[in-house]
Amino acid sequence: MTTAPTQTRFQLQKDRMLRAAAQCFNQKGFSGTSLRDVASVLGLTDAALYYYVRNKEELVYLCYIRAADLGREAMEKAREDGVDGMDVMLRYLRNHIEMMVGDRGPIAIMSEIPSLNPEHREEVLAVSRKHSAAFEAILADGIADGSIAPCDVRMTGNAIMGSINWIPKWYHGDQEMGHKLIDEFPKILARGLYGT
Amino acid sequence: MTTAPTQTRFQLQKDRMLRAAAQCFNQKGFSGTSLRDVASVLGLTDAALYYYVRNKEELVYLCYIRAADLGREAMEKAREDGVDGMDVMLRYLRNHIEMMVGDRGPIAIMSEIPSLNPEHREEVLAVSRKHSAAFEAILADGIADGSIAPCDVRMTGNAIMGSINWIPKWYHGDQEMGHKLIDEFPKILARGLYGT
DNA sequence: GCATTATTTTAATCTAGATTAGAATTTTTG
DNA sequence: CAAAAATTCTAATCTAGATTAAAATAATGC
């Protein structure tokens, strides 16, 4: 068949583009990166990017969607492997941190959501809310099964997600620190939440 | 004297400008706010802003410096009033959150640091590092005086500051939630850190 | 190898928004 | 009140960077 490989090729390039864009945005800030910057990471011309997205707004939108996908992935894997609420949470945190610390990480700080168009903005916000809710559900499960101490899941969830999302602000690629982060940070975040 | 009142007037307007700018950046994102937007909040023309700053880069820089000042203020007040490490930390967290939640809050997410010029960027980063170090010192004091349980102050500090700095991402002016945040969030962040 | 489709480039254009110069207005001072 | 200083406005300019159109190149199926 002809469409399948074509789709794949196209998708692969598009994916590379999203990674390059996320990398640029993280490194140089949003207003500091032009389409040319992104294109040059790929060895392309800025105009070539328009073969993959309608405009810059869509590129940003897709970066956010990709970040959400990666987060969801980390969470699903944790749900599959974990044995109780606390275990799922710890695994999810670890998976997520591993992703943030890696070089193909998602776009870190969602500062440009206001400049998305209404449909895209609403979708990104919805998906983000959904992820928060899923994390709170893990906490609730843990409380129910006794592995997590009773707490305000809304606030606790936000506190923990904030710590995670803030990592790129102070972590800058130090290998040793990276390993420590993956191993220790989940425990630090879970500290004081262990159940009976 | 003639210079004193002039300075004051000028400073007052400049301060209003910084608040307006922070408000715009928080609400509409950085790339989404033009100097015109900031000026219109003040009832001015965009060109008028150039009486107070050399260019937009300097405006951003000053916003970051102001944020740092407010953070330092919150911390100093806490240091004066607190009786031990844990108490100082809790007071600082409360002060800082009160500030974030208020409408004259500082600029929240420091995403545009990369696009500052080298001198300004270095200064902002330095001041930011200094603040982190000061917070870690509070933790260390608490561990020393027994009010805080032994922990990795570096990671713990980053975890807590991340939770704080992330608040604007999910808090959007709900009054009730605001009070709850101020009263409960510090406790949540300190959970698991209480000493002997 | 040929025809078709996919991908990228070159070369313009187009625009929002930053910036500037100088005039106008408002405030202050003596 | 008049002069001087401080503040703001009007009206251009200026530019980076997004976007587009059409041509050129590369890949693919038959």
Q: Mean pLDDT for each 10-residue chunk of chain B (196 residues)?
A: 60 95 92 96 97 96 96 97 98 96 80 94 97 98 98 98 93 92 97 90
The rounded distance, in Å, linking the Cα atoms of A150 and A164 is 21
The rounded distance, in Å, linking the Cα atoms of A160 and B166 is 10
| Nucleotide lying nearest to A36, CA to C1' measure | D17
Query: Mean pLDDT across chain A, nearest whole number?
Result: 93
Whether the CB of A45 is less than 7 Å away from nucleic strand C comes out as: yes
Residues forming a β-bridge with B148: B194
The rounded distance, in Å, linking the Cα atoms of A116 and A122 is 9
| pLDDT at A64 > cutoff 90 | yes
| pLDDT at A67 > cutoff 80 | yes
Note the pLDDT tens digit of each residue in A71-115.
Answer: 999 999 999 999 999 999 999 999 999 999 987 778 877 889 999
Beta strands in chain B (DSSP E): none
Instruction: Report CA(B42)–C1'(D1) in Å, whole number.
Output: 32
- And the tokens for B38? 């900031």
Q: Shortest CA distance to A100 belongs to which of A127, A79, A74?
A: A74
Residues of B with Cβ-Cβ distance to A180 under 8 angstroms: 155
- And the tokens for B170? 């999910």
pLDDT band of residue A14 (cuts 50, 70, 90) is very high
- How many whole angstroms from its chain centre is CA B89? 16
Burial class of A152 by CB neighbour count within 10 A (0 to 12, 13 to 18, 19+): middle
pLDDT band of residue A164 (cuts 50, 70, 90) is very high
- And the tokens for A124? 């990104």
- Nearest-Cα distance to chain A for B159, in Å, is 5
First to last CA, chain A: 57
Q: Which nucleotides of strand D come closer than 7 angstroms to any CB of the protein?
A: 5-11, 16-22, 28-30
What is the pLDDT, as a whole number, of residue B5?
Answer: 55
Q: Which whole number is the average pLDDT over A159-173?
A: 93
Whether the CB of B118 is below 8 Å from some CB of chain A: the reply is: no
- Nearest-Cα distance to chain A for B129, in Å, is 9
Q: How many CB atoms lie within 10 A of CB A65?
A: 16
- And the tokens for B60? 């951003």
DSSP per-residue letters across B76-130: HHHHHH-SSHHHHHHHHHHHHHHHHHSTT--------GGGS-HHHHHHHHHHHHH
What is the pLDDT, as a whole number, of residue B1?
Answer: 35
The rounded distance, in Å, linking the Cα atoms of A75 and A92 is 5
- How many whole angstroms from its chain centre is CA A7? 25
Handedness of CA A47, A52, A53, A56 (dihedral sign): negative
Identity of the amino acid at B158: N
Q: Which whole number is the average pLDDT over A124-150?
A: 97
Instruction: Catalogue the long-range contacts made by A127-136 (C-beta closer than 8 Å, 24 or more residues apart).
Output: A127/A65, A127/A68, A128/A68, A131/A68, A131/A71, A131/A72, A131/A75, A132/A157, A132/A158, A132/A161, A132/B170, A134/A72, A134/A75, A135/A75, A135/A92, A135/A160, A135/A161
| pLDDT at A124 > cutoff 60 | yes
Interface residue of A128, A155, A164, A167 to substitute, partner B, most B CBs within 10 Å = A155
Whether the CB of B6 is less than 7 Å away from nucleic strand C comes out as: yes
Q: Which nucleotides of strand C come closer than 7 angstroms to any CB of the protein?
A: 5-11, 16-22, 27-30
Q: What share of chain A is helix, strand, coil (3-state, %, to 5)?
A: 75, 0, 25
Q: A111, B111: Cβ pair inside 8 Å?
A: yes
| pLDDT at A2 > cutoff 60 | no
The rounded distance, in Å, linking the Cα atoms of A158 and B137 is 25
Whether the CB of A110 is below 8 Å from some CB of chain B: the reply is: yes
Residues of B with Cβ-Cβ distance to A30 under 8 angstroms: 29-31, 111-112
Output the pTM of the full model: 0.92
Whether the CB of A13 is less than 7 Å away from nucleic strand C comes out as: yes
| pLDDT at A1 > cutoff 70 | no
Q: How crowded is the C-beta side of B117, counted as CA atoms within 13 Å?
A: 8
What is the pLDDT, as a whole number, of residue A5?
Answer: 55
| pLDDT at A24 > cutoff 50 | yes
| Nucleotide lying nearest to A38, CA to C1' measure | D17
Query: Hey, what domains does chain A have and what are their CATH numbers?
Result: 1-52 (1.10.10.60), 56-190 (1.10.357.10)
8 Å CB contact between A139 and A150: no
Instruction: Report CA(B46)–C1'(C23) in Å, whole number.
Output: 17
Residues of A with Cβ-Cβ distance to B170 under 8 angstroms: 132, 158
Helix (H, G, I), strand (E, B) or coil at A121: helix
